[in-house]
């Protein structure tokens, strides 16, 4: 089924509210998840809500939490997310970072112990809209899912890296990527659809390559592979060391076999390009380089060269027009999650249909 974004927001908001979130937080959670769907990242969209509900019921996710400032040296901030909803903790941390970067020219925000921060690009987009360059290294404390390069078992999470750069006269460059070959949720989406996955994403429990997404979803789990072999692996380790160890949030919870919560640590580096004294050359060179890239001849089976961030904007245009496709299995899980919070699934259906 294809659902309108406003209606989906209302349905997800109702579930978050039934889980104890105040109106502001419930809306932030719902808007953030639906935006991920709109941008084509169904893996980080409304399909996360059932997982959040399990984490809430287990006590690993706490509604209505605020960040706690652990250390404040002006342009350096260390924050504890207190296992609150990442959609609200991430916004607070980003807003604080933006204010500090505007004040000091740059800022580093070490955020530990936030519950799932969703699409990391969401935070970069907010900083970029304020005119800042925004870089993020993120670890995922949940059970390990990804094998190290040359390893046959799971040692860390899908550890995303994100770089947002404002460009004069056009939408920003927004690279937002898991360091695993794909985000874990894409395996869940493929599994829910009964689809095969491309080679290079996953190995089975014996370390052999597989195209069956069940090895990333059902027990016994295989392991996901990093993107770009040893290079993505190196970036994933940097995310764990910076987003996990350096922020104080903690590293992969390798003893955690059952807990449903997903904690993210995020080291953010924000730079005000207007304060580096290179504003003119930055604008001129960025523009000319992007034009040079775009003038590249399309390779066979490609229509044109894009910049990171463009595919998401293309998805948004289509899904704002046609609605967000939601598969049956995902909707079934969302209805079941509502029921666990004593919210009638029929009410959720009605909200989603408008």
Ligand X SMILES: NC(=O)c1ccc[n+]([C@@H]2O[C@H](COP(=O)([O-])OP(=O)(O)OC[C@H]3O[C@@H](n4cnc5c(N)ncnc54)[C@H](O)[C@@H]3O)[C@@H](O)[C@H]2O)c1
Residue 121 within binding range of ligand X, rule CB under 6 A: yes
Report, in Å, the least distance between residue 173 CB and ligand X. 9
Asked if residue 85 lies in contact with residue 115, where contact means CB atoms within 8 angstroms, the answer is yes
CA distance from start to end of the chain: 13
Least distance in Å: CB of 73 to ligand X? 27
Phi and psi angles of residue 141, each rounded to the nearest 5 degrees, phi first: -95, 105
| 8 makes contact with ligand X (CB under 6 A) | no
Euclidean distance between CA atoms 300 and 28, whole angstroms: 42
Q: How far is the CB of 81 from ligand X (least distance, A)?
A: 12
d(CA 354, CA 348): 10
Which one of the spans 95-103, 179-187, 293-301, 315-323 is the region binding ligand X (CB under 6 A)? 179-187
At residue 136, the 3 state secondary structure works out as: strand
65, 115, 119, 261: which one binds ligand X (CB under 6 A) = 119
Which of the ranges 5-13, 144-152, 154-162, 213-221 carries the binding residues for ligand X, by CB under 6 A?
154-162
Judged by CB under 6 A, does residue 306 bind ligand X?
yes
Residue 220 preceded by cis peptide, ω within 30: yes
Q: Which is nearer to ligand X, 74 or 300 (CB)?
A: 300
309 is an interface residue for ligand X by CB under 6 A: yes
What minimum distance in Å lies between the beta carbon of 312 and ligand X? 5
What residues contact residue 40 under an 8 Å CB cut-off, 6+ apart? 311, 312, 314, 315, 316, 319
DSSP state of 60: S
- Tokens at 350, concatenated: 């009605």
Is residue 182 close enough to count as binding ligand X by CB under 6 A?
yes
Residue 108, strand partner residues: 76, 269
Q: Is 152 in the site for ligand X (CB under 6 A)?
A: no
Name the nearest CA neighbour of 147 among 46, 52, 62, 229: 229
Which of 175, 241, 246, 341 is close enough to bind ligand X by CB under 6 A?
175
Pairwise CA distance, residues 37 & 9, whole Å: 11
Residue 70 Cβ vs ligand X, minimum distance, rounded to whole Å = 21
Binding residues among 41-60 for ligand X as defined by CB under 6 A: 41, 43-44
Name 175's bridge partners: 163
Structure tokens at 237: 């380790």
Q: Rule CB under 6 A: choose which of 46, 117, 237, 351 binds ligand X.
A: 117
118 binds ligand X (CB under 6 A): yes
Q: What's the min distance (Å) between Cβ of 354 and ligand X? A: 27
* Beta strand residue intervals within 142-273, DSSP E: 161-167, 170-177, 202-203, 209-210, 223-224, 263-271
Q: Binding string, 193-212, against ligand X, x = CB under 6 A?
A: --------------------
Nearer to ligand X, 49 or 177 (CB): 177
Distance (Å, whole) CA 52 – CA 61: 7
Task: Choose the binding region for ligand X from 199-207, 278-286, 308-316, 323-331 (rule: CB under 6 A).
Answer: 308-316
Q: Which stretch binds ligand X (CB under 6 A): 4-12, 40-48, 51-59, 95-103?
A: 40-48
And the tokens for 84? 């609150």
CB of 253 vs ligand X, minimal distance in Å: 13
How far, in Å, CA of 160 to CA of 119, rounded? 9
Rounded to whole angstroms, the Cα distance separating 132 from 66 reads 24
Identify the bridge partners of residue 209 per DSSP, sorted by sequence position.
Answer: 203
Q: Could you say whether residue 312 binds ligand X (CB under 6 A)?
A: yes
Q: How far is the CB of 219 from ligand X (least distance, A)?
A: 21
Residue ranges that bind ligand X, judged by CB under 6 A = 41, 43-44, 116-121, 140, 158, 160, 162, 174-178, 182-183, 186, 264, 306, 308-309, 311-312
């Amino acid at each position: 089924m294809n659902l309108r974004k406003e209606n989906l927001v209302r349905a997800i908001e109702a579930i978050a509210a039934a889980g104890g979130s105040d109106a502001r937080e419930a809306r932030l959670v719902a808007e953030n998840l639906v935006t991920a769907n709109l941008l084509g990242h169904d893996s980080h969209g409304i399909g996360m809500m059932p997982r959040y509900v399990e984490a809430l019921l287990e006590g690993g996710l706490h509604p209505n939490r605020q960040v706690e400032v652990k250390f404040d040296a002006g342009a350096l901030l260390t924050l504890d997310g207190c296992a609150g909803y990442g959609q609200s903790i991430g916004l607070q941390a980003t807003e604080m970072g933006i204010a500090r970067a505007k004040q000091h020219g740059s800022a580093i925000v070490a955020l530990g112990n936030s519950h799932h921060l969703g699409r990391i690009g969401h935070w970069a987009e907010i900083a970029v809209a304020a005119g800042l360059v925004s870089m993020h290294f993120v670890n995922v404390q949940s059970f390990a899912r990804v094998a190290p390069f040359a390893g046959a078992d799971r040692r860390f999470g899908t550890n995303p890296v994100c770089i947002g750069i404002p460009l004069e006269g056009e939408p920003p460059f927004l690279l937002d990527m898991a360091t695993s070959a794909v985000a874990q949720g894409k395996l869940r989406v493929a599994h829910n659809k009964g689809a095969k996955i491309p080679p290079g994403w996953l190995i089975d429990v014996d370390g052999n390559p597989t195209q069956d997404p069940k090895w990333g979803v059902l027990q016994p789990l295989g392991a996901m592979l990093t993107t770009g072999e040893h290079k993505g692996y190196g970036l994933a380790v940097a995310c764990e060391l910076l987003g996990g160890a350096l922020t104080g949030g903690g590293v992969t919870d390798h003893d955690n076999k059952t807990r449903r919560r997903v904690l993210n640590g995020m080291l953010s580096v924000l730079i005000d390009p207007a304060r580096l004294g290179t504003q003119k050359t930055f604008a001129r060179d960025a523009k000319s380089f992007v034009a040079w890239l775009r003038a590249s001849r399309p390779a066979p089976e490609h229509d044109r060269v894009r910049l990171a961030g463009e595919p998401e904007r293309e998805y948004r245009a289509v899904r704002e027009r046609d609605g967000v496709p939601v598969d049956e299995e995902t909707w079934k899980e969302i209805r079941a999650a509502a029921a666990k919070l004593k919210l009638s699934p029929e009410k959720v259906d009605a909200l989603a249909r408008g």
